[in-house]
Structure 1
Amino acid sequence: MIPRTLHVIWVGDESKRPDNCIATWREHNPDWTVRVWGNEDLASYGWVNAAHMRDMSRRELNGVADLMRWEILYHEGGFVVDADSICKRPLEPWLFEGEACACWENELIRPGLIAAGYVASKPENPFFGQIILDLQKEPTVVDRMAWQSVGPLFLTEQVRLQRYSGLTIWPSHFFIPRHFTGHEYTGGGPVFAAQEWGSTLGKYDELHKRKVA
């Protein structure tokens, strides 16, 4: 089973951590454990890909979070959500009936691309174990943008490369109803969260100050 643990990763300037956003996950999901991973965890956890994390930290902190995400999912299991996401309603048990889950980034704007910001798994899932090993073999992960080398594109390529059939892929509107391009879902289906695109749209200087609930 997928553990009822919500993981949020925030590395870098802790004064800008969007605790207001993180609080919405606690408020709507009191039966889940919320664990926030920060700079101390980055320094002490014993990451397999610590060298890649150090290199990535000099370029894109969101890439460091992606590298941490895969190892957290493998060792801990649970549901990793982006720090700049705002929970809108309680998570439903049926979302997590499989062994691993994720959602499309946007079926119309980027068809076929799996988002990295909302990924769940049971512990010790061999799929994520292989992801960690494949990253370890890479001579560098900073030769491209992080979304390509360790994030959504990398995840999408790994699903196809490993022919992984255990991944339930939710519709994008469940967690990303508004794409960074402005395209917005207007249907009547469930929306569990909103994505603020903090890194992509440069919102982190002000996001932590906003009223989001």
Structure 2
Amino acid sequence: MSIRRKRTTMCICIFIIIIFLLLIQTVRYIFRRRSPIKYVDEADLSRFGNVSWPQQRIPRVIHQTYRTYDVPEIWNSTVQSVMKMNAGDFEYRRWSHSDMDAFVRQREPDFYRNTFVHYAYDMQRIDSFRYVLMYHIGGIYIDMDSACYRPLREFVATLEALDPSSPYLALFPAEDAFGVQTDFIAATPGHPIYKQFISQLPLFHHYFLIHHITILLSAGPLFATFQERFFRQTDQQVVRILKNKIYTTEFWKTNGGTWFGRDTLFILYIYYNSKRLLGYLIILAIWLAIFFIGIIIYRRWRSHCPKSLTMIQVNQYPLLKNSPLRLIRLKQKESRPE
């Protein structure tokens, strides 16, 4: 290879590396957080959970949704726990699918006509409904398969005490790996973050190749995660994140995932068995490496090995002196006429 060609190849490699680094920085810049995270931790709940002095801004109403007004047997324990523990502090309201449809049609007619009725899955309508609900009514939304070991008023009181002068408050639980969850949310009505949610839902209304990803990204927790990262907080519009450790210890769940498909079960299997599967992949990689190294060594040996050996060459190899190859050559020599 000439010196000029080597320099050209080097310049191309450097150019590709620079483009790759610029692409990474661009993606990081696009998906950067617009505001610092404001957490709610155990110390906050212990300090403000039972105070009564903050002005009440979050409506004392608990919202839950289901296909009908009947509670499925598998969720009866969680629903009854939520209702009994918060009786007297909160109004309780259950929304059927027909209620959700009528509410969105009345409050957000453009979104309803252009996006809501065109969703392919019920779960997309349920997810988007809770954003419309929080924006127009506020309060607390909690999935039917979820319940809490402590009264929900402690979370609301803490939220109001941490930001006593803010007219707009919102709370999301942190996801254990990345982002936020939406199976328990609280907010004041009219919070700008939910206005942003509603305005961005049509842009995310696409099929993303996989059923599971489509649900999460079109209106589910992954959609909420991106919107929360892009939202610009001020002292007048606050979004707080409930730390995942509190959420996993203070809340409990029964069997949920009614929208799960086979792809979801496959993804969850990989997630919950990731360490074991990683071990299998490492073992497989080691065996493949040994296999390919063996092939390389064998091919190099064959390339240096002569195709036919003379008797002198055979005698030079101790292992070949008594080999069938030597005996064949001796017989050939004896059979030749003088």
Partner of 2:205: 140
- Choose 139-148 or 27-36, whichever is displaced more: 139-148
- The corresponding residue for 1:94 is 157
Once the 2 structures are TM-superposed, how far is the Cα of residue 14 of structure 1 from its aligned partner? Answer: 5.2
> For residues 41 and 200 of structure 1, do their structure 2 counterparts lie closer, same or farther at Cα, with a shift above 3 Å needed?
closer
Match of 1:103 in 2: 173
Percent identity over the alignment? 24
Matched, 1:22 2:79: yes
| Alignment match, 2:96 | 38
Are 1:74 and 2:135 an aligned pair? Answer: yes
79-88 or 18-27, larger mean C-alpha shift: 18-27
**TM-score (ref. length: structure 1):** 0.74
Corresponding letter in the other structure for 1:64: R
Q: CA deviation at 1:74?
A: 0.1
Residue type of the alignment partner of 2:127: D
Partner letter of residue 28 of structure 1? Answer: M
Three-state SS of the structure 2 residue aligned to 1:73 is helix
More strand by share: 1
For 1:197 and 1:95, the matched residues in 2 are separated by: 29
1:205 alignment partner in structure 2: none
Higher relative contact order (CA closer than 8 Å, sequence separation 6+): 1
Partner SS state of residue 145, structure 1: helix
User: Tell me, which stretches of 5 or more residues in structure 1 are unaligned?
Assistant: 178-184, 186-190, 203-213
Relative to its length, the structure with more helix (as a share) is 2
Q: Quote the offset at 1:161 in angstroms.
A: 1.6
Quick one: distance in 2 between partners of 1:14 and 1:55? 26
2:130 counterpart SS class = helix
2-structure distance, mates of 1:21, 1:134: 32
- Which structure 2 segments of 5+ residues have no match? 1-56, 164-168, 261-338
Q: In structure 2, the residue corresponding to 1:116 is in which secondary structure? A: coil
Moved more, 119-128 or 96-105: 96-105
CA RMSD of superposed structures (Å): 2.6
Q: CA deviation at 1:134?
A: 1.6
Which whole-Å CA distance do the structure 1 matches of 2:185 and 2:60 have between them? 13
1:83 to 144, 150, 153: 144
Deviation of residue 197 (structure 1)?
5.6
Take 1:8 and 1:95, find their aligned partners in 2: how far apart are those partners?
Answer: 22
Q: TM-score, normalised by structure 2?
A: 0.48
